[in-house]
Structure 1
Amino acid sequence: MAVTKSAKKTKTRQKSNGKIAPQDIALDFGQIIEDYRLAFQSRQASLIGRKEVMNGKAKFGIFGDGKEIAQIAMAKAFRKGDFRSGYYRDQTFMFATGMGTIQEFFSQLYAHSDVEAEPFSAGRQMNNHFASRSLNPDGSWKNLTEMYNCSADLSPTGSQMPRLVGLAYASRLYREIKELHKFSQFSKNGQEIAFGTIGNATCAEGMFWEAVNAIGVLRAPVIISIWDDHYGISVSNEHQVTNENISALLEGFRRNGNSGDGYEIFCVKGWDYEGLIRVYLEAADLARQHHVPAIIHVDEMTQPQGHSTSGSHERYKSKERLTWEEEFDCLRKMREWILDKDIATAEQLDQYEQEDTKQVMQIRDAAWEAFQAPIREERNLVLNLIEQVARESSHAAELGQIKNRLAGTPIAIRRNFAQAIRETLMVVRDESLPVKAQLREWKKAFAKENEARYSSHLYSESEQSALKVPEVKPVYSEESPTVNGFELLNSCFDTALSRNPLVIAFGEDVGFLGGVNQGFRGMQKKYGELRVADTGIRECTILGQAIGMAMRGLRPIAEIQ
């Protein structure tokens, strides 16, 4: 990627062999500065977010500092219709794609229960756990090809991998099964890529290897990014993976030349802005056009604040390692590159950084105020109720203490309101006061509101909820034949497959054999190897494949022998 000062842009061209050449992408100076500033803002969100936890305004924090530049590059390859299945380090990617904002990031850190303020989980998930909505309020599907898609993050490490199999494999099915071409709200000729992200230490887990193998067998369009900062919490790669090199272990999955099954495997430094963009665009072209899966091992990443707010990395990293991390911090390296290419001056970058730090702090303040304002209003209402009780009660002094404790709490928390009301009712339990009825009604209404606030939508509440499907009882007659159970199942599956082309069956022995109990006997021959398919003995990713396919609009039937 050559930077021409006079042209004020990085120019691109395509090599005849289809590889991404150094001049393949066009980035003008303004875009480069915009990328740097977004990465810097994301870093400030991480640094300020940690302070918010330490100051007691949030309970726990885990952030994506040190991973910013790679995620900026990944976002450049991400298109509408694509899906992300990642983990809790990906905040910069969410900002870069527009699927999340810094204010929503802080709202989730505070566990803001208003879904308009925190659209990922309405405050129910740990921070940096992202998601997008695929359904409209009435339960109908949105047009997934016209939006950026993000499957809901999960806290157990590695759990993003099994569903990645199905999210990617769906693209192959939509491309290769003619009857599915009409479902354009789910796919445009199977050109969608499933992007997976994972940390280096989690690559030691079985779910990772099972998913990598399944994707390779299925020839599904995936880009798996491995963020490698050489640690898993306090444990270095020495104790995580053989030879401390995950991409070396993955060599057996590499495809031979430009043909054949397998992965295209890339290794790139996490601070190399130019190299990262080239790699992601090349990998995306292969996956999108040819359904060649890719693994991108992003090495030499850092984690400036350590794993999470539960500890400090100074406790387990050597002085030499800490010095190296400071020198190879991706923001520092990109800043040096910008100065070297005369894209901006040091004074200009200093000014940008000052502006961006101030902006992130203002965003934090706005998110905090939006979170606290309605809760403070509730607290004031509770304080007024307690004061009314105190005016009528002979226990005014004790009630005054309850009121003062609640009023003196620096951060308004709804749990404290409930506790204050319970204590008030206990103090006046032997008194007959008219205001007690009002207090009890408030307590009852408060509990109902919080049940909706924190427990709603655990299941679909639309008219299309599976819980609202009416029961259809079997009807028998004197002429009803007696058949074997597998014949009944066989007829049921046959009807489902013939009625709905979105129905896809797969599992152990389902295809050629028709299932060990013959429930799918003859179905593969009738409907084809893609709609009734055999899988390996990989139960974890059979279930994950079904989940991912269902998220892409398909109706999978997954079988485990």
Structure 2
Amino acid sequence: INDYKIAFESRQASVLGRREVLTGKAKFGIFGDGKEVPQVAMAKAFKNGDWRSGYYRDQTFAFATGISTIKQFFAQLYANPTDGADPFSGGRQMNCHFATKSINEDGSWNDLTQIKNCSSDISPTGGQMARLVGLAYASKLFRNNKELDYLKNFSVNGNEVAFGTIGNASTSEGVFFEAINAAGVLQIPMAISIWDDAYGISVPAKYQTTKEDISEVLKGFQRDAKQPGYEIFKVKGWDYPALCEVYEKAIAVCREEHVPVLIHVTELTQPQGHSTSGSHERYKSKDRLAWENEHDCILKMREWMLDSAVASEEEILEIEKNAKIFVRNAQKEAWNEFLDSIKPEQKKVVDLINGMVKHQPELAKIAAQLAATADAQRREVFTSARKAIRLSTKFPSAERDELLKWYKAQEVLNQERYNSKLHTDGKESPDQIEIINPVYDDQSKMVDGREVLNACFNENFARDQRLVAFGEDLGNIGDVNQGFAGLQAKYGELRITDTGIREMTIMGQGIGLAMRGLKPIAEIQYLDYLIFALNVLSDDLASLSYRTKGIQKAP
């Protein structure tokens, strides 16, 4: 009954969220309607210490796990930068982009074993897959390298599963196949769920996927008695009992045996279409729309509850009525708090401009327009202030000076609201490292640069057990340029490791490991090869501190 309540509340949040965008209160919205039931089933298997690396359809999962409240969901939709309103991004990301707090204000780590962890979402489709490999690979290192046992705040014997989610159309991305292959080779606890509603925006599966079925394409990855691989599951997205059973079984295998699993969730729908940018009635046939209405996962769960006598019609109606009230109240509270953070600024600017009217009567119109603006946004407040300052340039006065002073003070506040945390600061910041200059004398030897690097790597690997290095030709031969020569033999294959030719997931492996408290060295042989991973570096790593307002890092 509680799962149905969460699913129904999430659907109401989607419906109301879309309405808020279309009425102009928010700029853009993308929602998880039609994916609610599989997400509550998945949430049942998600434990403290586990990690999520998903995409922007996972709001129900966030509600079910406690990662987000519905009020926080709406605060992010409104881009509220007030501290605590949008705890995932501080108003910097669009809705359904979640994150949990990995680090404290001073840059120190939280105890990640005691929370349900969510790596910060990004918008590029498939972009979550590279990072997912690293999040899962960390569990393998924590389980198999006993020298890491002292890191009690990061893992409990490597029991953590990295949950990934992706839409069926995004499985066409190269990074998806690269990540799937890497996880199969590495044999890591990665559980990837594919939400399959048979479309990618307006483009149906026949243009997206061979055989129109990604799990059919990936059958060769299924493990058998002779060779490791994946456990692959296929389940209908509206079948609540089957979903619960599949997730319980799949995640148990993943967690206990460190075997990657793939759960292909089919026959899902998208009741409101792709996003607030358009309607799916434009590109879906009447038959398809009728089928989607009949197979809506919430409707199917409702039917199952009645048929199984889990709840009566009256009980379900009461749940639905209360859910609508609850979501509406959460939305109103989020909206009012957003406006309340701006109203004092609006009033202040109106008063300051009105104070200037005695010197310049034409400014009265600016003040009157701002005062009459219902639900004024901060942009409108600052536009009015700037306009008054500009038009009064030739009319100096104490009142103008006061407006200018207020404006400059607000610029400082806006720097913190919108432009802070470009880089991670705090006690573990690179800025805090003491610089030790090299010392040379007449007796200093001339050596190759690779020897300097090799000696440096050797000293650091001996000093810090968190260090791991991986890349193409890095392990056995010690890198094509010999920077790691002899180090795999000294420190073991777990710490100095060869990889396949897969630049995107080499970078992602590094990001995920770093987010879990390790110190990865992700090596790409040549600059030309690095370009293949540029999307991962720019879209994910470079923006991590900024887009989470400093609550996550990947050093």
Equivalent positions of 1:160-239 (< 5 A) are: 160-239=128-207
Larger Cα Rg: Structure 1 or Structure 2?
A: 1
Cα distance between partner residues in 1 of 2:212 and 2:67: 34
Residues 81-230 of structure 1: pairs in structure 2 closer than 5 A: 81-230=49-198
* Structure 1 residue 350, shift from structure 2 partner: 1.1
SS at the partner of 1:128?
coil
1:450 to 414, 417, 421: 414
Does residue 1:540 correspond to 2:504, yes or no? yes
Kindly state the Cα deviation for residue 416 of structure 1 after the two structures are TM-superposed. 1.2
Letter in 1 for 2:186: L
- Tell me which residue corresponds to 1:323: 290
Could you tell me whether the CA contact under 8 Å between 1:505 and 1:531 is conserved in 2?
yes
Distance, in Å, in 2 between the alignment partners of 1:419 and 1:181 is 55
| Pair 1:271-2:238 in alignment | yes
Q: Contact 2:4/2:298 (CA < 8 Å) preserved in 1?
A: yes
Q: What is the aligned partner in structure 2 of residue 560 from structure 1? A: 524
> C-alpha displacement at 1:408, in angstroms?
2.2
Number of the residue aligned with 1:464: 428
Alpha-carbon shift at residue 479 of structure 1 (Å): 2.3
What is the one-letter code of the residue matched to 1:435? E
Work out whether residues 458 and 487 of structure 2, in 8 Å CA contact, stay in contact via their aligned partners in 1.
Answer: yes
Q: Give SS of 2:382's match.
A: helix
What SS does structure 2 have at the residue aligned with 1:447? helix
1:217 partner letter: V
* Aligned residue runs from structure 1 range 49-448, under 5 A: 49-257=17-225, 260-390=227-357, 392-393=358-359, 395-396=360-361, 398-448=362-412
SS of alignment partner, residue 133 of structure 1: coil
Deviation (angstroms), 1:51: 0.3
Q: Counterpart amino acid of 2:68?
A: G
* TM-score (norm. length: structure 1): 0.92
Of 502, 513, 516, 1:549 maps to 513
Match of 1:473 in 2: 437
C-alpha distance in structure 2 between counterparts of 1:160 and 1:170, whole Å: 16
Q: Render the CA deviation track for 1:397-442: whole Å, top value 9, x for unaligned.
A: x212111221222221111122111221233222232211111111
Q: Is the 8 A contact 1:170 1:549 kept in 2?
A: yes
* SS in structure 1 of the partner of residue 166 of structure 2: strand
Structure 2: where are the runs of 5+ without partners?
526-555
Q: Does 163-172 or 452-461 show the bigger shift?
A: 452-461
SS at match of 1:521: coil
For the 8 Å contact 1:115–1:121, the answer to whether it is kept is no
> What is the aligned-residue identity percentage?
55
Q: Which amino acid aligns with 1:183?
A: L
* 8 Å contact kept, 1:493–1:520: yes
1:463 shift after superposition: 2.7
SS at match of 1:540: helix
Return the alpha-carbon distance in structure 2 between the equivalents of residues 473 and 500 of structure 1. Answer: 21
Q: Does the CA-based 8 Å contact 1:165-1:545 persist in structure 2?
A: yes
CA RMSD of aligned residues (A): 1.0
- Distance in 2, Cα, partners of 1:231 & 1:432: 61
**1:470 CA displacement:** 3.2
CA distance in 2, matches of 1:163, 1:424: 48
Please state how far the C-alpha of 1:183 moved relative to its aligned partner: 1.5
Distance, in Å, in 2 between the alignment partners of 1:191 and 1:425 is 60
Number of the residue aligned with 1:21: none
1:158 touches 1:205 (CA, 8 Å); kept in 2? yes
Contact 2:108 2:427 in 1 (8 A): no
Greater Cα shift, 425-434 or 376-385? 425-434
Name the residue aligned to 1:13: none
Tell me by how many angstroms 1:86 deviates: 0.2
Q: Report the Cα distance in structure 1 between the residues aligned to 2:437 and 2:261, rounded to whole angstroms.
A: 49
Structure 1 CA distance, aligned partners of 2:120 and 2:456?
Answer: 32
Letter in 2 for 1:355: N
Pick 1 or 2: higher relative contact order, CA cutoff 8 A, min separation 6: 2
Structure 1 residue 291, shift from structure 2 partner = 0.4
Task: Give the paired residue count.
Answer: 525
TM superposition shift of 1:494: 0.6
After the TM superposition, which residues 37-56 of structure 1 pair with which residues of structure 2 at under 5 Å, given as runs?
Answer: 37-56=5-24
Shift of residue 83, structure 1, vs aligned partner:
0.4
Cα deviation for residue 150 of structure 1 reads 0.4
Task: Name the aligned partner's letter for residue 549 of structure 1.
Answer: L
What is the aligned partner in structure 2 of residue 498 from structure 1?
462
SS at 1:196 equivalent: strand
2:447 aligns with 483
Aligned residue for 2:27, secondary structure, equals coil
What is the identity, as a one-letter code, of the residue corresponding to 1:475? V
- Return the letter of the residue paired with 1:483: V
Give distance in 2, aligned partners of 1:556 and 1:378. Answer: 46
Provide the C-alpha distance between the structure 1 equivalents of 2:383 and 2:507, rounded to a whole number of angstroms: 43
- Contact (CA 8 Å) 1:262, 1:293: kept in 2 or not? yes
Q: CA deviation at 1:270?
A: 0.4
Structure 1: any 5+ residue segments left out of the alignment?
1-32
Residue type at the aligned position of 1:445: A
- Report if the CA contact (8 A) 2:112-2:155 is conserved: yes
Question: Quick check: 1:165–1:215 contact (8 Å CA) kept in 2?
Answer: yes
Q: Distance in 2 between matches of 1:151 and 1:405?
A: 43
